[in-house]
A and B are shown apart, each in its own frame.
Chain A
């Protein structure tokens, strides 16, 4: 057993309002630079929908992630030889238009223009060429199911397209996404220059800007399309999990600013020796296999092994208080996004409970059930959720939804001072105490409880290397870059 620690974020989709505050705070801090205008390290997309970049989940199109071939896990896009042969042109890499062409408006025209007969207008100009442009597509073009026939209807997870035309069955929810800081990151595996690495101490996956030569295999390989090519610096960049913030025990900018308070961050301990088991599991077992390698920080033996591996006491302590551990492992209600890509993603999503279907019959049934809907009557089809979060395993999604429904039932009865049937809780695998705790964690938790982030240990940092590390971490550069004479 090789115990390692990672900082992990969870998203409670039940509460995401789709306000994009997270994306904006991320952009303001990290990607408000030349070459990075189009990048949204954090983005929020409507599901069903095309997402960002367009149809990123369609790996027949982008060839991201790993595939299980016999007993071997291989990158879908390239083997070693084909990596060498494709160095000069990336056949599967998304192009700018698959994200969107970034633009701004000529605001200065509004006050600099002279006196004229017509009202001045601020026309859109490209942020790349500076020329005037027609805006044909943008980030979140399909927000809230806008343009469904073009976008949502082609969502690869959606089997029954007719749902989008059936008002009583129509559904949507929001999916905020950052880099998952995977345990088996395809971006790392694909980089021929070995420029991308996973930080041992906290699991953050970073592109070493000094080593990166801009070959862009990571962009193709990441099935979540969370590595971006900076056309100005000629190198790849990605979400850095706000390491300058989390190293000082502050929450990531996206999580900190989250209006819905849907995000929790905490430490998970995992067994690095058994990652292999997870990536080779059958599709339906992927989530459970991943849960198995997440270790219990209250187990004496594991704590001893963690200490032997140099994990500091403060981190073990944080792992015990970790809200992510509670959601992922104790309550088993948080799921990795598209585990079938086999990168073992380390951000987790609590699936949304949704409004009930608007057919009359169901409305009556709901009343029968004390106002709390059963999972069958929820608008978001479990099948759809299973395609997103459990590689098709509907059973475990059911279990999670049942827990959340039982929790609602219990809390409603409690708040109204009504009697309740404890067996509903027990059937869902909860007790009054654990339900209470889950309720608090999801709704009332304080800032410190939501973000149990231990600071990095400065004594581990070697000042001699600081300059070197500075270049090895992080993201693009501000100075003139294009290697000019």
Chain B
């Protein structure tokens, strides 16, 4: 029953929310689309929280995505034991980095002057990522070779979700920590359109190719640039 909830119901609801509400927010409430930086009010602790967290999580997310998109390529790469060992160690390092970051961020929310700009939504966001970091690092330490078994359990299960034939058997035997990690991940997806999580959806890359100065014209409504 719990498995059904974690591996079928929550994922589908979360995906639906993310797919429907995100565009809605984009078109109706873009004025609230921001990372709501609090650096302006407190910067010393933020540095030690935000930088490790983001460097950790972005690389780890990329790792998850690569494993999901190219399972067989990753599989053959990891068949070399020393590669697997190296990759696992790097991942664990990044995980610890992210964990360190989130713990600092949580303390910062609780004990520094930024309480004035902290609302329930901020707590939801930060506790959800704390959960991801704790459960992730736990698996790195106590459920070894996650990189390997991820490819044979979570990835096929995710594909089964996508093809609308959810196959819980692939993942139901995995440890509780894994289940909490998955639940947390989909809750993040569910909360994404409602919170400042949206901040990482539209990553700016255009500026890498644009000329530096941007002009906008009312007159002929063409963006003219120099």
Instruction: Name A482's contact: one of B47, B121, B207, B213 (CB within 8 Å).
Output: B121
Q: B residues within 8 A CB of A245? A: none
Contact A89 B121 (CB under 8 A): no
Q: Is the CB of B115 within 8 A of A129?
A: yes
Q: Return the contact of A83 from the options B207, B210, B218, B224 (Cβ within 8 A).
A: B207
Chain A interface: which size bin? 35 or more
Among residues of A, the one whose C-beta sits closest to the C-beta of B101 is A88
**Chain B: number of interface residues, binned into ranges:** 35 or more
Quote the shortest CB–CB distance from B111 to chain A (angstroms): 13
Asked whether A80 and B218 contact (CB < 8 A) given A128-B116, A209-B31, the answer is: no
Instruction: Give the complex CA separation of A130 and B116 in angstroms.
Output: 8
Residue A210, interface by CB 8 Å: yes
List the B side residues contacting A130 at CB < 8 Å. 116
Q: Which residues of B contact A126 (CB under 8 A)?
A: 116
Residue of A189, A214, A232, A483 touching B212 (CB-CB under 8 A)? A189
User: For window 108-134 of chain B, which residues contact chain A by CB distance below 8 Å?
Assistant: 113, 115-117, 119-122, 124
CA distance A200 to B38 in the complex (A): 33
Cβ contact of A198, chosen from B30, B117, B204, B215, cutoff 8 A:
B215
- Which residues of the other chain, A, contact B53 by a CB distance below 8 angstroms? 88
- The answer for the CA separation of A482 and B121 in the assembled complex, in Å, is 8
Instruction: Kindly identify, within residues 467 to 485 of chain A, every residue whose CB is under 8 Å from any CB belonging to chain B.
Output: 469, 471-472, 477, 481-485
Could you say which of B5-13, B60-68, B147-155, B190-198 contacts chain A?
A: B190-198
Is A260 engaged at the interface, CB distance under 8 Å to the other chain? no
Q: A439-482 CB contact bits vs B (8 Å, 1 = yes)?
A: 00000000000000000000011100100010110000100011
- Interface residue from B33, B37, B206, B219 paired with A460 (Cβ < 8 Å): B219
Query: With A272-B226, A460-B219, A483-B34 in contact, do A93 and B207 touch (Cβ < 8 Å)?
Result: no
Interface residues of A (CB under 8 A from B): 2, 80, 83, 87-90, 93, 95-96, 126, 128-130, 184-185, 188-189, 191-194, 196-201, 209-216, 229, 231-235, 272, 275, 310, 460-462, 465, 469, 471-472, 477, 481-485
Apart from A129-B113, A482-B122, A485-B191, what are 4 other A-B pairs with CB-CB below 8 Å?
A80-B208, A89-B51, A198-B213, A215-B204
What would 27 A/B residue contacts be, using CB atoms closer than 8 Å? Answer: A2-B226, A80-B208, A88-B55, A89-B43, A89-B47, A95-B43, A128-B117, A184-B213, A192-B204, A197-B215, A199-B216, A200-B216, A200-B217, A213-B204, A216-B39, A231-B41, A231-B117, A233-B32, A234-B35, A234-B36, A235-B31, A272-B226, A460-B218, A482-B196, A483-B121, A483-B194, A484-B121
